[in-house]
Structures are given as structure tokens and as C-alpha cells.
Amino acid sequence: MNTDKAWEILKKEGFKKTDKREQILNIFSETTKYITARDILDIMMVEHPGMSYDTIYRNLSTFVELGILDETELTGEKNFRMHCEVDHHHHHFICMSCGNIKEIHFCPMEMLQNAIPAYQIESHKFEIYGKCPECH
Amino acid sequence: MNTDKAWEILKKEGFKKTDKREQILNIFSETTKYITARDILDIMMVEHPGMSYDTIYRNLSTFVELGILDETELTGEKNFRMHCEVDHHHHHFICMSCGNIKEIHFCPMEMLQNAIPAYQIESHKFEIYGKCPECH
DNA sequence: TTGTAAATCGTAATGATTATTAATTAGAAT
DNA sequence: ATTCTAATTAATAATCATTACGATTTACAA
């Protein structure tokens, strides 16, 4: 996976190309897992000991707003994952041991299109948690 | 809604009947919303100014473990809701304005029973977010 | 090359949650 | 009813993720 789509979005929205952003995006492009802000920090600290918390969190939230990253809450922490390369809506099985994910190409909202017309639906979450074949 | 079922569970598991637990359960029995630990604190502080954070959090987590409360993360905070009176599995539409919920009597897992046999499923989450008829 | 808004650094603040220890209390046993 | 004991609570303080802020640096357009 590469980061072209992400840069395309960033450029279009007027964000600058910086080392830190590049590294963060590279980390995401090299994994299929959901990872935490802390994970990013740990990895980046190796090359940039003077890394600022602010830089990580600010960029992660920018990326989420722009649809570059997916965000979810697992065990009390926010977890992120590359999303912008995705070209079709889907959900995830998330392994609680290793963090790996499996895409689930089924969306329950299809079944509920007209089930609650009086309610204004803004978003939804469908996630399955457990252990992947390698972990159990 | 009453709290009998909750006390039944607590007693069976050897937990004692205390004022604080009773008040917490009463608060939940009187609302259908998901509320935060902070909400509970604010309400209880009126009658018990010397209320301890610990008491709230410890009891909430006990209640969740025993299946008395439902827990979910909304806007970065844990939210809780009475669950033990529920006699059938279901999901929720949650109003992001007023916090009220609507039960959704449809579970996507039924469709996925045998979809990913190699994966050990431990739990799942399906929630719909938006605005209820009163709020939009 | 230079000007300027954007981004980052370094650090501190915040806010929710968890931990600690001493005092209190519910419920069982006497 | 009284005593005993383990569970529970109070009153902090600590922790952890996240956010905020002033000072400095940097990307990039003119």
C-alpha cells in the first residue's frame, strides 16, 4: 500500500508536506493493524528523539477528519488504521490478541434502510472482536 | 423498571447491599439513556457531598462485569446503561443530542454465523448514531 | 530570496480513570 | 443483641491518554 492517495487529499486541502506527516503515513501504509498514538510515538522516537506529543495527536486527528485514517476505541484507547485507499464501505473483524484485522464485506445498514425513518442516521459502527486463526 | 434483577445477581455473587450501590442502581433504573460516570457523580454529590470517585468507578465496573450494565464509548468517555432487565439480545440507535436510545431488534451476527469459521468470535458491537425524532 | 501562515517543539495542563491506605459498615456467627 | 471479619467506602494521590500553548522553525508561494 502506498501513501499517494493520502497526499493527494492533504494537498487538495492545503496541508503541507512535512517529514513527520510522511513518517506517520508510512507507518500506517506498512501495516494492516489498528495501532495507537502511543505505538506511533514509540516507532518515531527511534529516529526523532525530540518528537512532540502534539505533533502525533494533531496529525492523527487531521487524518481522521480528512478520511485518511479510520478510528476506533479498543480497551480504552483510540486506535487508528489506514482508510483512504479503501474504495468500498466495509467493516472489520479485529483480533484482540495481535491487532490484525479481517475485512467483513457485509453492512447491516443495508438491512435497515427504512427500518426507522423518523430517526436521522449519521453514522454507525459494526465491529467483531475475537481471535484470528493465528492467535487461537 | 426496577432493580430486583440487579440485586438478585449481586446477592448471588456475594456482593453486599449498600446505600451507594442502591443509589447508583436507582439512577439507572430511572433512565433509558446511556450516562457517564460523571453524570452519576453529579447526581449523587447532591445527597452525598463526600462521595468518592473510587466508589462510582469500582461499582460501575463491577456492574458491567456482572452484566448489570451495558458499556459503550461515546465521544471519548465511557457511557453506561441498565442492561440486566433485558431478556433478549439487541442493539441500539443512540441519539447524539439527547442520549436517548432506541432498541434495534436486529443482529447482524445472525447473517454471519458461518461466514468466518476460522475466526474465534468473542463479541461484537453494532450501534447506530444520529438524531432522534425529538432532536432534529 | 524572502515573507508568512502552517507546523513543530518542549512543556505543562486537563480530564477520566485507577490505585492506596485507613476508617467504616454490612451481614454472618456467636 | 453483640461481636467479628471481610467487604466497602472516603479521601486523597497517582497514572495515563489526550489536549493546549507560547516560542521557534519550516514549507512553499510570490
pLDDT digits (tens, 9 = 90+) for B58-116: 999 999 999 999 999 998 899 999 998 888 999 999 999 898 999 999 999 999 988 99
The answer to whether A89 CB sits below 7 Å from nucleic acid chain D is no
Coil, helix or strand at residue A89: coil
Containing H/E element for A91?
strand A91-95
What cell numbers appear for B35 in the block? 450516562
Length of chain A: 136
pLDDT higher than 80, residue A1: no
**Residue A135 confidence (pLDDT):** 93
Task: Give A53: exposed, middle or buried? Use CB within 10 Å, 0-12, 13-18, 19+.
Answer: exposed
Q: What pLDDT sits at residue B113?
A: 83
Contact A111, A102 (CB under 8 A): no
Look up the protein residue whose alpha carbon has the minimum distance to the C1' of D28: A16
C-alpha cell at B101: 436510545
Give me the mean pLDDT over the A2-21 stretch: 95
Among A71, A126, A134, A135, the strongest candidate for a mutation testing the B interface, having the largest count of B CBs within 10 A, is: A126
Closest CB from A126, A130, A132 relative to B108: A126
Residue nearest to nucleotide D17 (CA to C1'): A77
Q: How far is CA A8 from CA A1, A2, A19, A20, A86, in A?
A: 15, 12, 16, 17, 14
Which residues of A spanning 68-87 put their CB closer than 7 angstroms to strand D?
Answer: 76-78
pLDDT, one tens digit per residue, over A37-77 is 999 999 999 888 888 999 999 999 999 999 999 999 998 89
d(C-alpha B92, C-alpha B131), whole Å: 13
| Span between the terminal Cα atoms of chain B, in Å | 28
| Bridge partner residues of B124 (DSSP) | A128
* pLDDT tens digits, one per residue of B24-62: 999 999 999 999 999 999 999 888 888 899 999 999 999
DSSP A41-86: HHHHHHH-TT--HHHHHHHHHHHHHTTSEEEEEETTEEEEEE-TT-
Sequence letter at residue A104: I
How are strands ordered across the β-sheet holding A120-131?
A: A101-104, A91-95, A120-131, B120-131, B91-95, B101-104
* Cβ(B80)–Cβ(B36) below 8 Å: yes
Residue with cell 483512504: A84
Q: Mean pLDDT across the stretch B9-32?
A: 93
